[in-house]
Structure 1
């Protein structure tokens, strides 16, 4: 199939990585894939690095009319079987461009984020009418789409994200070597938070929990913040660094910066926390579980679809640093529970979140029109 994947985001996080990963997987399966993305973005750079056909049409300095012109020109010059956008904002340019180009491609939207806005007005009905289907990344998002978007519920399908478990295999990475590289004591226990610097990820709760643990225990523990600063996130990242100083945690918190080898970084971690306020999915949970790590995550959004409380980890109320600290202390003290949760997490990923069944299911969606 000739497939156009689109994402107008300049950031670099789960949304953008999934867009890139799906494009590469489809290309590897001999589909003719084109990636429509912003000019001078992470997606353009990484897409070209992977050898994908990249069309960097979106841009900060381009107005709507200019963007619309270039997209409809692309659609006239190339006949696509499928157009799949990974972000709903792209509908505003894609739908008019498809109409102008008389494009007959099957059209899909993946919904990755919940919306609090009712989109059943006239303009949104015009946009959503063109869609052949919506793919939601969780049951939580599927219900949100049905509640807020003007589309037949039968056209809304859940397709959980997935990962390559062969890449996230703890046997491939040396905990000793990674810790030596990072300068982490081999005998220290480590608690990690992996993700972009956005307020919804729960960095503040993580640090307040760290403060409570240092005050109430004598445990030798280091708290790792893994992740770089993406588009528009510099101010919040600086606020988090200042909070570390205010809480006097400088010797107990490490900022590792961005890593392009997350499984290697996870090899240095003993416990993975995910204190996100409301998450649509959480790919990092799959990656950590595949690496055999026990999880402590917020009981909100789609997280309970991934983490099974007291089986693969602990679920805690969102924005509750005290509960987060209590559960971290339990796992720090009891290695047997850490191992039990880690083993069960790996098995769950192998059973429910494998990449090959995911991409086959996506192809089935492309081939089926409601």
Structure 2
């Protein structure tokens, strides 16, 4: 519901207020992209409880922070996002009773119906990365590091699922394609476009790498964990909460090549370690990131019951 001028803005606020009055709504919930000034205006003009759900990276501008101050409750998808948003917006004095953390959920797949992609179901170690190609995802770091290391000869494939999605950075995608075309003599780098069904590609992986620089939450480790896959993630952002180092996965120091290669080498060389970490992550995903847990947490914050 974007607004382009004051007349459209006021008209939109009026429509929201009409819905509130007609439905006798006690709570209005909005995610970040629809926040704008709408909920702020509704909050000032009615007694309705307003709840804002921050799911992604947020701008630290003071105007954005002011809108948060006006809300009754704020939900973040990680403690990292909560701390970052409140501190960068210089509103970290907000009551913790106002701010809540609810981890995103993953609809867990029926593993019995998922088969690996045949061409990647081979004897070599398959490493997978997933997501749109933008610089902060840090995929190029992984390609560069593996290309220049002895691990290149030890792996069967390094695949990136999500290139050419139309949501990436064209220049960054071109740099990755250049590495694949000039520095991959054994054709191990597989650049795979956007997939509606990503689960067979996860199933094809022995190791899933998530090297992001600043991930607000990060679904990839959770999706990989749902299938019991070993995860190697950067020690940054939301990964510090989704992955327990040496328990449910391994963390490497952000963009430090030696740290990354050392941890990756541990996983490549030790199948038992991969299996142990994958199984422990799978249990953790079932406990902390299930849809049922998400619904229960949200219902409690929104004060919704089944009656």
**What range describes the TM-score normalised by the shorter chain of this pair?**
0.7 to 0.9
Asked if 1:174 is matched to 2:115, the reply is yes
1:338 maps to which residue? 274
**Distance in 1 of aligned mates of 2:193 and 2:122:** 20
1:64 Cα shift?
4.3
1:283 Cα shift?
1.1
Q: What are the within-5 Å matches in structure 2 for residues 348-359 of structure 1?
A: 348-359=284-295
Q: What are the within-5 Å matches in structure 2 for residues 226-237 of structure 1?
A: 226-228=161-163, 229-231=165-167, 233-237=169-173
Single out whichever of 302-311 and 183-192 deviates more from structure 2: 183-192
Asked if 1:92 is matched to 2:32, the reply is no
* Residues 285 and 295, structure 1, Cα contact 8 Å, conserved in 2: yes
Distance 1:216 1:153, change over 3 A: closer
Q: What are the within-5 Å matches in structure 2 for residues 10-89 of structure 1?
A: 57-58=1-2, 63-65=4-6, 67-79=8-20, 80-87=25-32
1:298 maps to which residue? 234
1:103 Cα shift?
4.5
* Residues 43 and 71, structure 2, Cα contact 8 Å, conserved in 1: no
1:36 maps to which residue? none
**Distance in 1 of aligned mates of 2:277 and 2:16:** 49
1:66 Cα shift?
5.9
Single out whichever of 298-307 and 317-326 deviates more from structure 2: 317-326
DSSP 3-state at the match of 2:133 = coil
How many matched pairs?
296
DSSP 3-state at the match of 2:42 = helix
1:352 Cα shift?
1.6
**Distance in 2 of aligned mates of 1:216 and 1:351:** 34
Match for 1:140 among 76, 80, 102?
80
Residue by residue over 1:85-123, the C-alpha shift from the partner in whole angstroms, topping out at 9 and shown as x without a partner, is 222x643331465269x454321122234558363xxx4
Distance 1:64 1:344, change over 3 A: farther
TM-score w.r.t. the length of structure 1 is 0.72
* Residues 297 and 303, structure 1, Cα contact 8 Å, conserved in 2: yes
Q: What are the within-5 Å matches in structure 2 for residues 1-370 of structure 1?
A: 57-58=1-2, 63-65=4-6, 67-79=8-20, 80-87=25-32, 90-95=34-39, 97-98=41-42, 102-113=45-56, 117=60, 119=62, 123=63, 126-149=66-89, 150=91, 151-165=94-108, 167=109, 169-175=110-116, 178-179=117-118, 183-184=119-120, 186-213=122-149, 215-216=150-151, 218-228=153-163, 229-231=165-167, 233-248=169-184, 251-367=187-303
Distance 1:225 1:133, change over 3 A: same
**Distance in 2 of aligned mates of 1:301 and 1:216:** 27
Residue by residue over 1:12-44, the C-alpha shift from the partner in whole angstroms, topping out at 9 and shown as x without a partner, is xxxxxxxxxxxxxxxxxxxxxxxxxxxxxxxxx
1:126 Cα shift?
4.6
Distance 1:312 1:94, change over 3 A: same
TM-score w.r.t. the length of structure 2 is 0.85
**Distance in 2 of aligned mates of 1:230 and 1:109:** 28
DSSP 3-state at the match of 2:251 = strand
Residue by residue over 1:265-324, the C-alpha shift from the partner in whole angstroms, topping out at 9 and shown as x without a partner, is 211111000111122211111110111000100011221211111122211001123322
* Residues 139 and 302, structure 1, Cα contact 8 Å, conserved in 2: yes
1:187 Cα shift?
2.0
